Structure 1
Amino acid sequence: MQRASFFIVLLFTGTLLAAEPSSPKMTVVFVIDQLSAEYLEKLRPLLKGGIATMWQNGVEYTNAFYDASPPSTAHGHALLTTGTYGALHGIVGNSWRTKDLGLVECDDDSAEQAAVFAPKGALCSYGKSAKNMLVDNLSDQLKLHSYPHARNTVWSLSLKSRAAILMGGKMGSPVWFNNEERQYTSSKAYFKKMPQWITEVNEKLALDRQEKITWKPLYPLCGPMYAFDNASDYLFARVKKPLINSTHDLSTKKAFNRIYGKSPQATADFFTLAKACINANYKEEQNERFILWLNLASLDKVAHSFGPYSKEALDTLYHMDHQMGLFIKEIYKKVPKEDVLFVLTGDHGGQPIPEIINQKGYTAARRYYAPTILENLNKLVEEKYGIKKLVRFFSSSQFFLDMTRLTDLKKNLTKAIMGTMKEHLVSLPGIRKAWTFDELQKTIFEKYDLDSRIKKELYPGRSGHLFYSTDPYTALYGNKKGGVHSTQYAYDTRVPLIFYQAGRFKPRRIHTTRYITQVSPTLAALLNVPRPSAAVARVLPELLP
């Protein structure tokens, strides 16, 4: 009897092992820059391409959040791929200030260690790498656990260097677009020389010789695809004239930078790069796995200029959806459907333009022009304490001070100065609270208090000195017009999250709150590698019960 039971258990165990799915041969993660979850809710009936394929066939999380703030491209990609917060990974924003107030871009490195490739075999005078990211990410774990019987190839592509690099980590293979040279590139931190396939893509695109570009809408502008409130309202846009449905000059550096990254052509060119990456690097051998991170950056560039309601933003997403659909079909020609895992998410959301929200009836919506507030803080401190130009720089949710002006003061006086500035900030309608760095770091928040998300991005020597939080739809802007993403609220932090692998996951919508910190541990489990070392969250239980 015991022997029979043993064989039954053995047979049952063997059946379970045989039934467990193998890890996908190809994994493609689409990260659409500034893709708020509200876009999918608004445009779901109108999307017909790759995004539609994913939500129709995949596991869709309708309440997936970045639970850290302020949201940015850099912090979003670092959190997504490390599974932890700026307080640990150190990427507190796209850039920050040092103790002497020098500017540091999140992906800066020395030319000696990480020189960026320039055309014709030359090198740029600056470097780019993931040196400033202080923990490993999923790409690093994939490369650290690449073996002869299970090789992992990892590429990360973007128009933005910071997105490509923070997805690729220290050991992946990032590629990004260099606006100065009008070409895709990488750095010596990742390659001894520019990979030949990238050079061939640059030659094919020939952007250095292109003199004009035309933004053709994907659908008729008079049709229902663009028939949304305020889609043609350019009163609060940074760009004075519509970009859509017109031809633009590319002859100067300024003209090229103004339009190319926003244009549908940039998205089409990007997928040309992605297809070339697969053709050059994907291997069909059984023991090879290919992981491709794709950051689609154009929506972010458009929404900053026009806001999320504009025709330009709508059309950008339609073009992305269309190009993604074509790209997925191309992949299925190369790899069986059941061997490909697709993931779709965003790196952050975006705040609707407050003037438009105000016009719609939510009169508490406000735009504060940050340089004016900075100037007023300095005037206040000078008049009351005789200290000039104490506040030097503004960044989302924080101000950077020239602390050398306070070094010789007694602690009580320094505390009084900081208190005066905090009082001024919270006296402004829509600004809820203000803290010094030390106060914020020591504050214990209730679970429901979204201000706790600001604390999660604090890193000494990189974060600012004076912080604030706002009410919903109120923000400090570096520009008098256009859009931004800078708060802890849902419109800035809730993003789509969809997993799709044919034959593995049944289509379903999950409304339970989940967090983007769960994505890299989940992908690590699906790909059979250890999670990133500093990851803080559990796997998504609906995918891995």
Structure 2
Amino acid sequence: MKFKFITKIFFFLNFVLFLNIFSIPKLTIIMVIDQFAYSYMEKLGPNFEYAFKDLKEHGVYFTNAHHAHGVPATATGHNALNTGTLAKNHGIIANSWIENGKKVNACKDDSPESSVFGPNNKILDYGYSTKNIMCNGLTDEFVKKYPNDLTFSISYKSRAAIGMSGKTGKPIWFDDKLGIFTTSKAFFNQLPNWVKDFNEKYNLDKTIENNIWRRAYPKKSKKYNLPDIDFNKNSYYIHSTYHKSLISKKRLDEPTDKIGKKNKPDIKNYSRFIKSPLANKVLLDFAKNCIDNNLHEDNNMLLWISLSPLDHLGHIYGPNGMEVTDMIYHLDKQIKNFLDSLYQNIDEEDILFVLTADHGVQPLVELNKEKNLPAYRINSSEMLHKINKHINKKYNIKNLVTDFEASQLYFDMKKFNNLDTKTKESIYSDIKKIVLNKKGISKVVTTDELINNKYDFDSILNFYKQQVYIGRSGQVFIIPNEYSDISNYKFGAGHKSGYECNTHVPLTIYQKGNIENKVITQKVWLTQLPVTIAKILDINKPEKSEFEPIF
């Protein structure tokens, strides 16, 4: 099915947008801020002074850009941004899923040919690759059209870097056990010298040791006086994963104590660091280093940058936390500094810059409840136990439901396939009754029902349908209401439902003198972005994309 109708409501019928003539940039940067919900632009927008303000005022700024995902996730979102299609085609339905009875991580691949490079050229016993990505992307088309040009994708998360790189790109990520930027044999024959040099010369451990998180603005600044948010409310930290603030408390090399584990610090030495504004600065420094070492007069570059610290922090404190707010203020200035440093050596007209996100985030369940909304934390393990207990008692089948992963119930298919049709239908019916009886549940739908029914494209059920990939998806999808969350976590925030708080993200495209000075309010889909960039770069759009360019 083609989705031409989505963009054929050509909002440039009333004006000529860029005259449909593009200047191919020397440097294309697609920056993805992990978990950067559009609500931040609305809530904090008046307080921005740097990059976010400049991009809104001078770029093509979209107020209504969405991901069409029922279960938004880092791996799913980054793959969509590269492939221009949904999980039904690219196959990355979540960060992890159950396949043939085993848990599969989106990009994990421990085969020898995918081993990760460790310090001192050591080959490690774990690895990553694109073996689970089932179609090509923007990066692959760029490499095909311009084999002498360069492309890199960098992130703290391997699944983000690899999702953006596609099959033929060059992803580099941060190993938070080793404290170095690295990659795997699936993408490089050896760790590039410029990466080795950065790891050795940046002296990250010393940088972390000497750093304490300071606020971007004075503590009493009006920028922290936000409607409906009381940063002085101590009870807020009761509901977050960490009891205390990370701001101005300890050095970043000291471990963080978690709720319920007061005497057990995080085992990862870099746990506090990757949740700090410093981590964003380090990644941007690494990106600048990548450009300086690889972009020359005789080549062009496509560079993907995914900033993960906001996601790490947002899961802990939720979108209304002081820590999240302050990190975004830091990002505002850090991205400005990064761009200004590029403009010193590259003409602004020669840089195409895109800013967006892989998904948003929902508020803490408890804060929704304080507003008298029907908000509930639904324990997935307890729910699974109750379902299996009922099925065992009624049908004498033990542990039919094996897992709850990415909002889906997975069955033991050997047991289920041995049942007659009537029994299968009865089990489905019983599961629906059990789950729908829990407060906070909106819908329960089988995968077969999603596949066989037709929905409006922008309906939440269609978002779940578009995320079905046979062999990787479960048998039943459980959809909470927009204020509730299904997980085993007692604290913190999530984003695994297809509501606007999780799907609505910022989008700005800017190239001075070419793509600038517009505000677009019509609804667009993030899967249109790589198709649009392909048009600007004069390359084919990704093979499986069913979407049209935004302009």
Q: Residue 296 of structure 1 aligns with which residue?
A: 307
Give the whole-Å Cα distance in 1 for the aligned partners of 2:142 and 2:153: 13
Secondary structure in 2 matching 1:525: helix
Give the whole-Å Cα distance in 1 for the aligned partners of 2:65 and 2:399: 41
1:151-230 alignment, distance < 5 Å: 151-207=148-204, 211=209, 213-228=211-226, 229-230=229-230
User: Is 1:335 equivalent to 2:346 in the alignment?
Assistant: yes
Secondary structure in 1 matching 2:403: strand
- Give the Å deviation of 1:360: 2.3
- Give the Å deviation of 1:247: 1.3
Q: Is the 8 A contact 2:252 2:273 kept in 1?
A: no
Q: With structure 1 as the length reference, what TM-score do the two structures score?
A: 0.91
Q: Measured at CA, do residues 20 and 492 of structure 1 come closer, stay the same or move farther in structure 2, by a change above 3 Å?
A: closer
User: Is 1:526 equivalent to 2:543 in the alignment?
Assistant: no
Q: CA RMSD in A?
A: 1.9
Q: Is the 8 A contact 1:249 1:255 kept in 2?
A: no
Q: Residue 92 of structure 1 aligns with which residue?
A: 93
Give the whole-Å Cα distance in 2 for the aligned partners of 1:457 and 1:296: 24
Q: Is the 8 A contact 1:249 1:256 kept in 2?
A: no
Deviation track 1:333-371 (CA, whole Å, cap 9, x = no partner) reads: 11101111110100001111121022123x222221222
Q: Residue 473 of structure 1 aligns with which residue?
A: 483
**1:437 counterpart (426, 436, 447):** 447
Deviation track 1:130-159 (CA, whole Å, cap 9, x = no partner) reads: 121110000010001115xxx431110100
Q: Residue 10 of structure 1 aligns with which residue?
A: none
Secondary structure in 2 matching 1:107: coil
Q: Is the 8 A contact 1:212 1:247 kept in 2?
A: no
Give the whole-Å Cα distance in 2 for the aligned partners of 1:82 and 1:19: 23
- Give the Å deviation of 1:461: 1.2
Give the whole-Å Cα distance in 2 for the aligned partners of 1:383 and 1:213: 58
- Give the Å deviation of 1:175: 0.6
Give the whole-Å Cα distance in 1 for the aligned partners of 2:192 and 2:460: 45
Q: Measured at CA, do residues 26 and 279 of structure 1 come closer, stay the same or move farther in structure 2, by a change above 3 Å?
A: same
- Give the Å deviation of 1:511: 0.8
- Give the Å deviation of 1:32: 0.3
Secondary structure in 1 matching 2:149: strand
User: Is 1:277 equivalent to 2:290 in the alignment?
Assistant: yes
In structure 2, what residue type is equivalent to 1:271? L
Q: Is the 8 A contact 1:111 1:124 kept in 2?
A: no
Q: Residue 327 of structure 2 aligns with which residue?
A: 316
Q: With structure 2 as the length reference, what TM-score do the two structures score?
A: 0.90
Q: Residue 10 of structure 2 aligns with which residue?
A: none
- Give the Å deviation of 1:46: 1.2
Q: Measured at CA, do residues 388 and 231 of structure 1 come closer, stay the same or move farther in structure 2, by a change above 3 Å?
A: farther
Give the whole-Å Cα distance in 2 for the aligned partners of 1:294 and 1:448: 28
Secondary structure in 2 matching 1:256: coil
Give the whole-Å Cα distance in 1 for the aligned partners of 2:412 and 2:204: 43
Q: Is the 8 A contact 1:65 1:516 kept in 2?
A: yes
User: Is 1:47 equivalent to 2:48 in the alignment?
Assistant: yes
Give the whole-Å Cα distance in 2 for the aligned partners of 1:318 and 1:296: 14
- Give the Å deviation of 1:409: 2.7
1:98-177 alignment, distance < 5 Å: 98-100=99-101, 102-147=102-147, 151-177=148-174
Secondary structure in 2 matching 1:247: coil
Give the whole-Å Cα distance in 1 for the aligned partners of 2:248 and 2:211: 11
Secondary structure in 2 matching 1:109: coil
- Give the Å deviation of 1:255: 5.1
In structure 2, what residue type is equivalent to 1:83? G
- Give the Å deviation of 1:448: 5.7
In structure 2, what residue type is equivalent to 1:103? K
Give unpaired runs (5+ residues) of structure 1: 1-17
- Give the Å deviation of 1:126: 1.7
Q: Is the 8 A contact 2:68 2:458 kept in 1?
A: no
Secondary structure in 2 matching 1:468: strand
Q: Measured at CA, do residues 139 and 448 of structure 1 come closer, stay the same or move farther in structure 2, by a change above 3 Å?
A: closer
In structure 2, what residue type is equivalent to 1:132? N
- Give the Å deviation of 1:454: 0.3
Give the whole-Å Cα distance in 2 for the aligned partners of 1:220 and 1:371: 44
Secondary structure in 1 matching 2:177: coil
Further displaced range: 164-173 or 43-52:
43-52
Q: Measured at CA, do residues 251 and 512 of structure 1 come closer, stay the same or move farther in structure 2, by a change above 3 Å?
A: closer
Q: Residue 240 of structure 1 aligns with which residue?
A: 243
Secondary structure in 2 matching 1:309: coil
In structure 2, what residue type is equivalent to 1:146? Y
What percentage of residue pairs aligned between the two structures are identical?
33
**1:349 counterpart (360, 372, 392):** 360
In structure 1, what residue type is equivalent to 2:351? V
Give the whole-Å Cα distance in 1 for the aligned partners of 2:424 and 2:54: 58
Give unpaired runs (5+ residues) of structure 2: 1-18, 256-265
Give the whole-Å Cα distance in 1 for the aligned partners of 2:427 and 2:311: 37
- Give the Å deviation of 1:278: 0.5
Give the whole-Å Cα distance in 1 for the aligned partners of 2:77 and 2:465: 15
- Give the Å deviation of 1:284: 1.9
Number of equivalent positions: 518
Give the whole-Å Cα distance in 1 for the aligned partners of 2:199 and 2:60: 36
Q: Residue 459 of structure 2 aligns with which residue?
A: 449
Q: Is the 8 A contact 1:518 1:538 kept in 2?
A: yes
In structure 1, what residue type is equivalent to 2:415? R
Q: Measured at CA, do residues 447 and 323 of structure 1 come closer, stay the same or move farther in structure 2, by a change above 3 Å?
A: closer
Give the whole-Å Cα distance in 2 for the aligned partners of 1:161 and 1:316: 22
Give the whole-Å Cα distance in 1 for the aligned partners of 2:393 and 2:541: 54
